[in-house]
Structure 1
């Protein structure tokens, strides 16, 4: 059954992850790419891949930080 395929993954979240920040240099680069996309209406394939990778990093950091904050609230 489909329910047999559903598993929950629990990952330990150190409280120190709550202090994670997206590095300013990466944020500046992502902002530059987004500004360029707005100005030109498009990005090159390489720029698009770079922007997507930066967004993925930022999203992952946000999820890790949120997990650490939730853990701290439960403690």
Structure 2
């Protein structure tokens, strides 16, 4: 499977320990997960911004798929 450019860029930043979000330049709307265009307007003029690292955790759960898949944490967070 070939990843779209934004997904690949996001994963590369994660590998460096950076959590990036996309922001539409025209509206300032921040959106996630990574995609080619802003979801509501379809605007393709966007930029990467780094998350502040601050936020509020609302829920955490761990999913235990069948072996050999490792457990995965799923977290609901409102980012500042």
TM-score w.r.t. structure 2 length? 0.25
Larger radius of gyration: 1
Calculate the TM-score normalised by the size of structure 1: 0.26
Q: Per chain length, whose mean CA-contact separation is higher, i.e. which structure has more relative contact order (CA < 8 Å, sep 6+)? A: 1
More helix by share: 1
